[in-house]
A and B are shown apart, each in its own frame.
Chain A
Amino acid sequence: MSVAAPHHRRPARPETVRQVVLFVLALALIYPLLWLVFASLRPEALIFSDPTGLPLPPTGENYIKGWTGTGQSFGLYIVNSIILCGVSVIGNVLACSMVGYVFARLDFPFRKTLFALMLATIMLPHQVTLIPQYTLFRELGWVDTYLPMIVPKFLAVDAFFVFLIVQFVRSIPRELDEAALIDGCGPFATYWRIIFPLLLPALVTTAIFTFLWTYDDFFSQLIYITSPEKFTVPLGLRVFLDTTGESAYGAMLAMSVVALVPAVAFFLIFQKRIVDGVATSGLKG
């Protein structure tokens, strides 16, 4: 007790300092994003002239100009991105959970070797498979479709999520599947009826990160998608980068805000789950 006392008697000052430091840091960290929102609401000519003040009165002109500024509606890019991300989520949730269940629960020849291979692919830089994959998808006529990005998800190529699910299945008491064994369920029925519903927290984490990472996966979208009507949000923003000098900064900033909205909305809704997911599983975030 006497030892703990000095800690308790410490004046409130260090805590005040800490809170001030945290507040200032948080503000500085978020400031570029706040600035983005403010700047997007200013008239084009005033974006740089008054960089710190509030945009009063706010104007929507940049948004109106930006929405159609690339020759396509920005809404189309958002719909395209959501389709791409949505199907990717379904692929990862189904494929990674099934494969994860098999690795966590079933015995089969070469199990350890295959599991080690699966772990190794997590660390593999994608550049090493990039060009042959591109050639393959080109031969299949899949270039300029979303298939090169979607099909791998249904083949559980994102091994990280398989690993995440393996860890989660291992935390489920075995008695639950052994009960299914007594009922004469096969492995697939056991997975689908017993394990899959219990995986919900891990599946939500998988779905959230698949959505966010696919949404931001500029590289794949850049190399595979060429038709403007199939452009996704990152590709739509790239059009502004390519076509404009300073003249269309307003539109570009406004559409950058629009592009960030889904990710920020996801974050606000699933904030705790996202941050806990990073904390417990070391998701690279």
Chain B
Amino acid sequence: MSMPSAAGAHSAASGPSAQARRWRQRHSASAFLMLSPWLIGLVVLTIGPMAMSLWLSFTNFDLLTTPDFVGTRNYAYMLRDPRFAQSLWVTFIYVAVSVPLKLVVALALALLLAKASFGIGPYRAIFYLPSLLGGSVATAIVWRIVFGADGIFNVALGWFGIEGRSWISTPDTALSTLIALSIWQFGAPMVIFLAALKQIPADLYEAAAIDGAGPARMFFSITLPLLTPIVFFNLVLQVINAFQTFTPSYVISGGTGGPSDTTLLYSLYLYLEAFTKLRMGYASAMAWVLLAIIGIITAALFITSGRWVFYADKGDRT
């Protein structure tokens, strides 16, 4: 930059990086060599299995004998399979209730914590801990007992004069214990919200205060719009994860999805079909339907996001 030459200021300025660029291109053989573990994994463990599982979904396959082509029979059977309908229903409720509630709690606690004048660090850690432990078998065991007939949840209700029951083994309430376990893990999205709250420039609030805005107005006009990209990110992530929840429903129902299939989350039903009944063709079809559902919902979220997700930098560019 400081010495424009005959070659011209522009190319002189880009000299070293152009050289580096050439160097990077010259090594594309090495690049592929270093990528090879990942490329092998991509072909052998992802793309190949995806293709094969799509094919298996049109077969009867019991793992031991050769797959037997049956056309679309697995997909047709799904429409008639009451357990499939039940597991889909249970999973939709689980996702539709647990994800929004979890995000609302996460945002509320992030707001509360952001304003605290001390103790932010320790509380952030304590609130996050359930997210770290929540997917484990041990936690699900605790849940099973806490919400059992003799569990502490009923003891706590007793203090308020409410009569308890076995929340786990009552069909009407079993799923809500799974939802509660999911909401209990609000810490991860809360931590992400908290980090985003710190990014909001304080002068926006100061300007709003000059204009006489109250806390509610500030929340809906400044905080929430600026957080929408994070809300969107958390929403997509949580929805995709929630659709695949397995361990809690397995442990809390003792591997059955009971009582009366009310905790039969999709992944558990798929597991039972594949690995206890060895209906691998049907399970493959279920996997593809799951992929389609997740894909459609994610796509819908992305498409509608234009209407409610606010990107500050987009506004600045105009």
A residues contacting B by CB (< 8 A) are 3-4, 7, 15, 18-19, 21-22, 25-26, 29-33, 35-36, 39, 48, 51-52, 95, 98-99, 101-102, 105-109, 114, 117-118, 121, 123-136, 138, 152, 154-157, 162, 174, 177-178, 181, 186-188, 191, 212, 215-216, 218-219, 222-223, 233-234, 237-238, 240-242, 249, 252-253, 256-257, 259-260, 263-264, 267, 271-272, 274-275, 278-280, 282-285
**Residue contact B56 to A29, C-beta cutoff 8 Å:** no
Which residues from chain B contact A29 at a C-beta distance below 8 Å? 126-127, 129-130, 184
With CB as the reference atom, state the residue of chain A lying closest to B51: A132
Which residues from chain B contact A105 at a C-beta distance below 8 Å? 24
**Residue contact A108 to B109, C-beta cutoff 8 Å:** no
User: Are A156 and B41 CB-contacts (below 8 A) given A108-B31, A253-B145, A280-B195?
Assistant: yes
**Residue contact A102 to B53, C-beta cutoff 8 Å:** no
- 13 A-B pairs with CB atoms under 8 Å apart are A3-B210, A31-B152, A51-B155, A124-B291, A125-B287, A125-B290, A127-B267, A132-B49, A154-B37, A178-B16, A187-B31, A252-B141, A259-B136
**Residue contact A22 to B113, C-beta cutoff 8 Å:** yes
**Residue contact B46 to A124, C-beta cutoff 8 Å:** yes
**Residue contact A187 to B30, C-beta cutoff 8 Å:** yes
**Residue contact B24 to A157, C-beta cutoff 8 Å:** no
Which residues from chain A contact B53 at a C-beta distance below 8 Å? 128-132
Q: List 8 additional contacts besides A155-B44, A263-B133; criterion CB under 8 Å.
A: A15-B116, A29-B129, A32-B184, A33-B133, A109-B28, A156-B41, A178-B20, A186-B27
**Residue contact B290 to A127, C-beta cutoff 8 Å:** yes
**Residue contact B38 to A99, C-beta cutoff 8 Å:** yes
Interface stretch of the complex, out of B82-90, B117-125, B305-313: B117-125
**Residue contact B142 to A271, C-beta cutoff 8 Å:** no
Which of B35, B44, B63 sits near A99, CB closer than 8 Å? B35
**Could you say which of A108, A174, A264, A274 has the most chain B C-beta atoms within 10 Å of its C-beta?**
A108
B residues contacting A by CB (< 8 A) are 16-17, 19-21, 23-25, 27-28, 30-35, 37-42, 44-46, 48-50, 52-53, 56, 61, 63, 109, 112-113, 115-117, 119, 121, 123-133, 135-139, 141-143, 145-146, 150-152, 155, 184, 187-188, 191-192, 194-195, 206, 209-210, 233, 237, 240-241, 243-244, 246-247, 250-251, 254-255, 267, 270-271, 274-275, 280, 283-284, 286-288, 290-291, 294, 298
**Residue contact A121 to B284, C-beta cutoff 8 Å:** no
Q: Is the interface of B mostly helix, strand, loop or mixed?
A: helix
**Residue contact A95 to B38, C-beta cutoff 8 Å:** yes
Which of B61, B123, B138, B247 sits near A260, CB closer than 8 Å? B138
**Could you say which of B133, B150, B254, B255 has the most chain A C-beta atoms within 10 Å of its C-beta?**
B133
CB distance from B130 to the nearest CB of A (A): 6
A274 to B187, CA, bound (A): 12
With CB as the reference atom, state the residue of chain A lying closest to B244: A125
CB distance from B155 to the nearest CB of A (A): 5
Which of A48, A152, A260, A285 sits near B45, CB closer than 8 Å? A152
Which residues from chain A contact B194 at a C-beta distance below 8 Å? 279
User: Are A278 and B244 CB-contacts (below 8 A) given A125-B287, A125-B290, A156-B37?
Assistant: no
**Residue contact A48 to B150, C-beta cutoff 8 Å:** yes
With CB as the reference atom, state the residue of chain B lying closest to A137: B45
**Residue contact B137 to A131, C-beta cutoff 8 Å:** no
**Residue contact A107 to B28, C-beta cutoff 8 Å:** yes
**Residue contact A121 to B24, C-beta cutoff 8 Å:** no
Which of B35, B46, B113, B247 sits near A218, CB closer than 8 Å? B247
User: Are A219 and B136 CB-contacts (below 8 A) given A162-B38, A241-B141?
Assistant: no
CB distance from B267 to the nearest CB of A (A): 7
A243 to B302, CA, bound (A): 46
With CB as the reference atom, state the residue of chain B lying closest to A213: B135
**Residue contact A108 to B115, C-beta cutoff 8 Å:** no
CB distance from A250 to the nearest CB of B (A): 11
**Could you say which of A4, A107, A127 has the most chain B C-beta atoms within 10 Å of its C-beta?**
A127
Which residues from chain A contact B145 at a C-beta distance below 8 Å? 39, 249, 253
User: Are A102 and B128 CB-contacts (below 8 A) given A22-B116, A129-B49?
Assistant: no
With CB as the reference atom, state the residue of chain A lying closest to B207: A3
Which residues from chain B contact A191 at a C-beta distance below 8 Å? 34
- Nearest first, the 10 closest Cβ-Cβ pairs linking A and B are A155-B41, A285-B188, A132-B49, A108-B28, A279-B195, A129-B49, A132-B52, A256-B138, A48-B150, A127-B287
CB distance from A141 to the nearest CB of B (A): 14
Which residues from chain B contact A133 at a C-beta distance below 8 Å? 45, 49
Which residues from chain B contact A249 at a C-beta distance below 8 Å? 145
CB distance from A120 to the nearest CB of B (A): 9
With CB as the reference atom, state the residue of chain A lying closest to B283: A131
